[in-house]
Amino acid sequence: MNRRLLQLGGIALLAAGLATGCANTSDSGQVYSKDQMRQAHVVEFGQVIAVKNVLMEGNRNELLTMGGTALGGLAGSNIGKGSGAVAGAIVGAIAGGLAAQSAQQTLNTKPALEITVKLDNGGKMLSIVQEADVPFSQGQRVRVLSGGGTTRVSPL
């Protein structure tokens, strides 16, 4: 009975981790967080010097990792009896935690662009990485918005 409750608890923990793991914030140049609303942003104009395709690594969800560890431990504890079950639980927990972390990193990685912009005022160069949801090309005129700890590039 207790083992069944632990298994159900592990499944509930994993489900909660999956639900919160799907609630990623956007790194798009077109999406503003609630905290960025009604905040002044400095606007500068410039020209795209280079565009490079990159990958943006996603965030890890510790709750999901703990759920994978718990389920791996429960699955591993069913191997053998006595000290074999303990060893199986330890190996299963390690494997479950590592598998959950690896899955999160793979699933949350998304295409992004590293955009190098030469600003009109003074010729200062900036490099901004943001989601690859808007195409940019070399020579394109853009505006760069900075404020509230973020900088984004948008087409003119």
Question: What pLDDT shows up at residue 91?
Answer: 74
Q: Where in the sequence is the domain holding 89, given as residue range(s)?
A: 27-155
In this structure, is residue 39 part of a structural domain?
yes
In this structure, is residue 98 part of a structural domain?
yes
In this structure, is residue 99 part of a structural domain?
yes
For the cut 70, the answer to whether the pLDDT of residue 95 exceeds it is yes
* Per-residue pLDDT tens over the stretch 19-71: 444 445 666 666 666 666 667 889 999 999 999 999 887 666 676 667 777 77
> Residue 79 — pLDDT band, cuts 50, 70, 90?
confident
Tally of domains in the chain: 1
In this structure, is residue 21 part of a structural domain?
no
Q: How far is CA 135 from CA 68, 131, 140, in A?
A: 37, 10, 10
* Per-residue pLDDT tens over the stretch 130-146: 999 999 999 999 999 99
Question: What pLDDT shows up at residue 104?
Answer: 59
pTM: predicted TM-score of the whole model, two decimal places = 0.55
State the Cα–Cα distance between residues 117 and 45, nearest whole angstrom: 9
In this structure, is residue 8 part of a structural domain?
no
In this structure, is residue 50 part of a structural domain?
yes
In this structure, is residue 19 part of a structural domain?
no
In this structure, is residue 18 part of a structural domain?
no
